[in-house]
Amino acid sequence: MDWGCSHLQLDSPPYASDGYRLLLQALTLIPIWHYLLAAAFALITFLYNFLEIHFLEDFLSGFSGSPVTFTYNSCCQIYEGVVSKCRILQGTYLVTPWLSSPHLQTVFLNFFGRPPVFKYRRQLFNTPDGGTIALDWLTSSDVSGRAHDTDDVETTPIVIVIPGLTSDSSSAYLKHLAYHTAKRGWKVVIGNHRGLGGVSITSDCFYNAGWTEDARTVVNYLHKENPMAPLFLVGTSIGANILIKYLGEDGENIPVAGAVAVCSPWDLLIGDRFITRRRVQKFYDKALAVGLQGYAKLHQPHFSRLANWEGIEKSLTIRDFDNHATRIVGKYETVDTYYRRCSSSNYVQSVSIPLLCISALDDPVCTREAIPWDECRANKNIVLATVKHGGHLAFFEGITASGLWWVRAVNEFLGVLHSSPYMHVQKKISTPNTLLDSSIDQGPYVNVTEDGMVAALNNEPTTDNVEEIHVIQDELVGNTKDIHHDGHDKVPEEKVNKQDEVVANTKSGDSSGVAQTASAHNAVPLDVITPFKRYIGQLSRQNRWSIWLLVYIAITTSWPLVGSALYVVFGKKLKNILPGGLVRR
């Protein structure tokens, strides 16, 4: 017995030194598929957290979906009279189970999206500075294949869509929106940004996150061409930022009945910090930077002349591109200055029309940190609807992910608003807002707007013959209201893909109108008193008390000087007339 114990004691050191060898031998006895299973579990756990997947959360809740949370003013009639009657917004949103991640939804939307198949009708619109915007129209007859009763009705509502960054009418989410809106019997027009939609840049003016002049010009033109049709605006991503900024700039003086902003970035400076914070966000930063570089390469002659082309080619992030291109073209001191001035959160308090804002709290591009909760709550015209999941412009629903929830929500909101008494009606303002006035036709100077965009100015729009249908915006010069554009169709019949050539010549109509007006003005004799009398008459009609107040102020302020002059002139006569004691006094 003692011998056995001593034997164990003598042999124990070799076994202790070979412990790791024995452990490795034991590990080799475990089947290889156990290791693969453990590695798969670890990978799934990592991806589940990295991609922010919430499938288990949805499963444990019985796939009941998440309700929509609303932020609005206690006196908001838009919520009580419109949003509260929207069944989709008052319900819940359930994500497609196999896309239970904001990143999976966003990537799936951009690479697949499953958009409906149809063809737009294209209209080329010329801006006053010589730029070209592609307006892609879609009506109910385009999606149904047969003529519809509402196509030619003057009161048929028109939905104007402002796309996101580097997006155009061919983007999947815009096709979803256009198709389902037109299917309801409404007209849809997508205002592509300059240089997108297959259209060349024809001026030195580019779009950016705060460039609202194009939206304003298109809205005013469509309102002029369709005065009886209600106009609604829908902005997506950067287009939502432009939309909110435009609404805040113009306030009540806007011919828009209502608007919807989907996945707005709100604060560009916060968004810039957010998109470079985590590795997964940096993927979107790089992808968007590549898209901006592709946009710049399409118009390299303009960017190489106006911006830093070498820096554009080396740009790895959105901030790099903005530093070498957007900031330089827009004449901003720094990139942060550009982000601060163009953030729509600064204009939320000035929005004066019904506005629905839809945002996903798990948006991987536009962070929830930038949402101006208090500003939205303080404005009685805004209703902020936030959903727990949805990604960026995705919100896929159904087992096959064939539809976008926000598209249905937008159409329902606009439909209820259209049938309610809460649609906005433009209030005419006699004096224009000097902060937003454009000197775009006061050439030959360079126009630098508050947005920072620079445009070469022309004395009049270009009216050369071009292919496709062109629309030249009327210039209001004096009383030349007779200028018209015959031969400009509101919605051309040619399809985009047919590439039919239609020449629109507007020189003859415009030149005759301008010549007649100029000759009429030259025939009027020079008269200085008549304009002065007219001005006094207008001023007195506007406020009769103001005239007498001005007269009183003029007399009281000038009396010491006038009295002294009268005393010098009539002093001797006063001595003869008045008693001596009074004169001495």
Which stretch of 220-229, 507-516, 523-532 has the lowest confidence by average pLDDT? 507-516
Which stretch of 44-53, 326-335, 344-353, 516-525 has the lowest confidence by average pLDDT? 516-525
Q: What percent of the chain has pLDDT over 70?
A: 69
Cα–Cα distance measured from residue 303 to residue 375, given in angstroms and rounded to the nearest whole number:
37
Which stretch of 45-49, 118-122, 155-159, 543-547 has the lowest confidence by average pLDDT? 543-547
Closest to 403 measured CA to CA, from 76, 59, 114, 198: 114
Confidence at residue 536, expressed as pLDDT on a 0 to 100 scale: 53
Confidence at residue 431, expressed as pLDDT on a 0 to 100 scale: 40
The terminus-to-terminus CA distance of the chain in angstroms comes to 148
* 3-state helix vs strand vs coil in the chain, percent to 5: 50, 10, 40
Q: Which residue has the higher pLDDT, 341 or 530?
A: 341
Q: What is the pLDDT of residues 52-85, one digit of tens each?
A: 999 999 999 999 999 999 999 999 999 999 999 9
Which stretch of 16-20, 237-241, 334-338, 419-423 has the lowest confidence by average pLDDT? 16-20
Which stretch of 121-125, 543-547, 569-573 has the lowest confidence by average pLDDT? 543-547
- What is the CB neighbour count within 10 angstroms for residue 197? 23
> What are the C-alpha distances in Å from 191 to residues 162, 185, 195?
6, 19, 11
Cα–Cα distance measured from residue 93 to residue 97, given in angstroms and rounded to the nearest whole number:
12
Confidence at residue 434, expressed as pLDDT on a 0 to 100 scale: 37
Q: Is 388 helix (H, G, I), strand (E, B) or coil?
A: coil
Which stretch of 192-196, 213-217, 385-389, 468-472 has the lowest confidence by average pLDDT? 468-472
Q: What is the pLDDT of residues 239-278, one digit of tens each?
A: 999 999 999 999 999 999 999 999 999 999 999 999 999 9
Closest to 373 measured CA to CA, from 383, 362, 388: 383
Put simply, whether the predicted model's pTM sits higher than 0.75 gets the answer: no
**Band of residue 382 on the pLDDT scale cut at 50, 70, 90:** very high
Sheet holding 470-472, edge to edge: 69-72, 382-387, 355-360, 258-262, 231-236, 158-162, 187-191, 132-138, 121-126, 470-472
CB contact set of 279 (below 8 Å; sequence gap of 6+): none
H/E run at residue 405: helix 405-418
Q: What is the pLDDT of residues 461-507, one digit of tens each?
A: 433 333 344 444 444 333 433 434 443 444 444 444 443 433 333 33
Confidence at residue 28, expressed as pLDDT on a 0 to 100 scale: 86
**Band of residue 365 on the pLDDT scale cut at 50, 70, 90:** very high
Per the prediction, the chain carries an average pLDDT of 80
Q: Is 13 helix (H, G, I), strand (E, B) or coil?
A: helix
Confidence at residue 21, expressed as pLDDT on a 0 to 100 scale: 83
Closest to 134 measured CA to CA, from 180, 182, 201: 201
Which stretch of 129-133, 236-240, 367-371, 446-450 has the lowest confidence by average pLDDT? 446-450
**Band of residue 25 on the pLDDT scale cut at 50, 70, 90:** confident
Alpha helices in 309-398 (DSSP H): 309-313, 318-321, 327-330, 335-342, 373-378
What are the backbone dihedrals phi and psi of residue 511, each rounded to the nearest 5 degrees, phi first?
Answer: -65, -35
- What is the CB neighbour count within 10 angstroms for residue 143? 20
Residue 169 pLDDT > 60: yes
Closest to 103 measured CA to CA, from 370, 358, 389: 389
Q: What is the pLDDT of residues 87-101, one digit of tens each?
A: 999 999 999 999 999
> What are the C-alpha distances in Å from 122 to residues 235, 489, 499, 574?
20, 11, 10, 85
Q: What percent of the chain has pLDDT over 90?
A: 64
